[in-house]
Structure 1
Amino acid sequence: MIKPQDAEFHFQSDSHWQWVETVALSFHVPGTTVSGIIYVLTRPMLGVCMADVTIHDRITDLWEEQIYIDNQQHLPCPKSLLDFSLPNGLSITATDPTKRYHARYEGIDDTHFDLDFQAIHEPYDLNDPAMDPMAAERHGPAWDTSWSGHYDVTYRIRGQLTVRGKRYEVDCVDTGDRSWGPRPERDNSSVIWWHASFGEALTAHLFVAHDLARTNDFGKLVSGYVLEDGKTYGIKEARGTQEYRKAVPMGGELEIVDVRGKRFQMTYSALNSCYWAPYPSNTYLQSFMRVSCAGQLGYGVQQIGLSRAYLTRNRDAIRARC
């Protein structure tokens, strides 16, 4: 069960030097192809952090062809995750820890935002068997040790965004997360983090394993929930497949079943997509998706987490995708 204090650092004086704590907040501009990610990865035992602000607006192989990138490594680590400001111009305040964040940013090239993230449900703890039906079957963390602690939250997000002088009003529903634990930077396993929201009434969110060099089909379900009318229901079954342009996902179809036995079928296609490398050893295939479910139209983000070791080991198989 997630408590307010879980928004704060969890490391101890004897924690492993690779201990990581993250805050990830996604948002998008309805009616456009514009989506954004705020990602802060701290290594408190080393006293450093990474901060990434990327604004996506198109489908491309190259991260640097997106509309805006500010990725900075080795910034000083915040003393607290509840209220901090970084030298890159990003400030984040947990105004209601685990349930509400206020994010402000003053970047370069007339790019800035002021966004309020308000949770529309209780944080979802993927390691709690009382909440997640897959947790009881696991021996150890859900993905690797970096998810020794992890929760997901779907937010109502409101505020203003200006990208290279163009102003947008943000009013959307999107999902973010928070993780902590030792995180190595070599040969991490691969996973898909996927969600889609159909307004405040319905969100589907899941993690699945995926070996994209060998198959288009999703692998074993790791975790997930359906958020319907303010209540979360763990996902117990998930099947999906998707099409690729090399390693970049273009769209697919998904079927999930929650603990009530309620079944949801969805199809989706990418509005923007590219490689994204918030920290150097790991690449994410980041895509903003338009999703259809039972006549409803929704939007959400997919991230395929892949180590560079996986990508180079399987380079020929991946490059064969055209």
Structure 2
Amino acid sequence: MMIDATTETRPQTTVSAADDRFHFDQMSDRWWITETAWFSFAKPEIGLGGWLYSMFRPNIGTVAGGCWIWDSTAHLPWEVPYSANYTALRIPDDQDLTDIQLPTGVRMKTIEPLTSYELGFEDEGRLSLDLRFDAVMPPRPLAKPGSSFQKLSHFDQFGRAHGKIVLHGEEIEIDCLSMRDRSWGPRPEHRPGKSAYVSGIASPSDAFLAVTKWNDDDYPVAYGFQIRDGVTADLVSGRRWVERCPDQHVVTKIRIEAKDELGRDLYAEGRRLSGIIINRHSFIDSNGLIEWTINGHKGHGEDQDMWPVHDWSAARRRLRG
């Protein structure tokens, strides 16, 4: 039974093996109640990045999302090497996230809870994907308010994605450090905000996540953590600076300066290798695959530059004069 909207639960701040499953019975009866599962992967040496993303709305019975693969040749979703972004397919009956085949083409299976997952995607003649994600850290739950996750329960986790994809007949081996996340709770389509979700990893001992404050043009860090010399601590302050391409407005260079709860500094500089702009209902995600230097260590990651569509349009109109 769904929880009544007036008794919506607060965001969850702990993670257990049960969080690999759906949370449909814990959420309210609002139509915009949403659950997501996201895995990223990349082959940075050739500028290739990819996502598997699934967004469930149990109260209206739909699943959205699919798979995106991009490289340095294009950033528009209808021009990148592969883009499948479904909006309203039916959630399968009698399947949980621990072992599910979705009509979007995405396949997910839990091998070890909160640790290892088999991932797949099939689109005959275009894309076949067979990967495994193995965590290199425990899942890190959302610890502070004010980020783009608002009232969602959420956690993030770095890991190693490895296996292969066959893209338009070309076999590509994947073996990279990457990120996954999970969210569940209220996510209405008609209330977008500007924010950024920035990740970077050089090794399991040197990585960071920085999520900026909701609708603040100075991009202060609202939530995040760093792993430095193998020790993980939440970020307590910081900021994101970017340079943008004058023609396309996408981020080309980026800098993160922050401090964690142990008093340690985080300094990361990055440059864009490739990217994709994904239209996600009333906002867009201009996502860049980034080559990072993180506290002196070379690595890679992503910068998800999120804008309400009307704000992006206004910025582009100003650039055009």
Q: TM-score range by the shorter chain?
A: 0.7 to 0.9
Q: Map 1:38-49 to 2 at 5 A.
A: 38-49=52-63
Q: Where does residue 301 of structure 1 map in the other structure?
A: 302
* 1:21-170 pair list within 5 angstroms: 21-58=35-72, 60-78=74-92, 79-127=95-143, 135=144, 138=145, 142-145=147-150, 147-170=151-174
Query: How far apart are the structure 1 equivalents of 2:22 and 2:75?
Result: 35
CA deviations 1:206-235 (Å, max 9, x no partner) are: 1013769xx6xx423211111245542111
Q: Deviations over 1:55-88 (max 9, x none)?
A: 0101645222211111222121144222110123
**8 Å contact kept, 1:270–1:289:** yes
Instruction: Map 1:217-236 to 2 at 5 A.
Output: 218-228=218-228, 230-236=230-236
The Cα of 1:142 is off from its aligned counterpart by: 4.0
Superposed displacement of residue 150, structure 1 = 0.4
After TM superposition, the structure 1 stretch with the greater mean CA deviation from structure 2, 82-91 or 42-51, is 82-91
Write the distance in 2 (CA, Å) between the matches of 1:208 and 1:287: 16
Offset of 1:256 from its aligned partner? 1.9
CA displacement at 1:121 relative to structure 2? 1.1
Gaps in structure 1 of 5+ consecutive residues: 128-134
Measured after TM superposition, the shift of residue 89 of structure 1 is: 2.8
Q: TM-score, structure 2 length as denominator?
A: 0.87
- How many residues are paired up? 303
Secondary structure in 2 aligned to 1:16?
A: coil
- Percent identity of the aligned residues? 24
CA contact (8 A) 2:196 2:219 kept: no
CA distance in 1 between partners of 2:208 and 2:149 (Å): 23
Shift of residue 316, structure 1, vs aligned partner:
2.8
Please state whether the residue corresponding to 1:310 is helix, strand or coil: helix
AA aligned opposite 1:240: R
Which SS does the other structure have where 2:45 is aligned?
coil
What value does the CA root-mean-square deviation take over the aligned residues?
A: 2.2
Quick one: structure 1 residues 315 and 19, their matched pair in 2 at CA, closer, same or farther if it must change by over 3 Å? same
Paired residue for 1:238? 238
Relative to structure 2, which stretch is displaced further, 57-66 or 193-202?
Answer: 57-66
Distance in structure 2 (CA, Å) of the matches to 1:192 and 1:59: 24
Q: TM-score, normalised by structure 1?
A: 0.86
Rounded to whole Å, the distance in 1 between the matches of 2:112 and 2:230 is 18
Of residues 23, 34, 39, the one that matches 1:10 is 23
CA contact (8 A) 2:277 2:284 kept: yes
Tell me if the contact between 1:224 and 1:234 (Cα under 8 Å) persists in the aligned partners.
yes
- Kept after mapping to 2: 8 A contact 1:25/1:39: yes
Per-residue CA deviations over 1:155-210 (Å, capped at 9, x if unaligned) read: 11111112111112111111111111111111311110001110222111110137
CA contact (8 A) 1:117 1:157 kept: yes
CA distance in 2, matches of 1:240, 1:18: 30
Letter in 1 for 2:43: V
Distance 1:230 1:293, change over 3 A: closer
CA contact (8 A) 2:243 2:253 kept: yes
Give the secondary structure class of the aligned counterpart of 2:171: strand
| Partner of residue 257, structure 2 | 255
SS of match in other structure, 1:64: coil
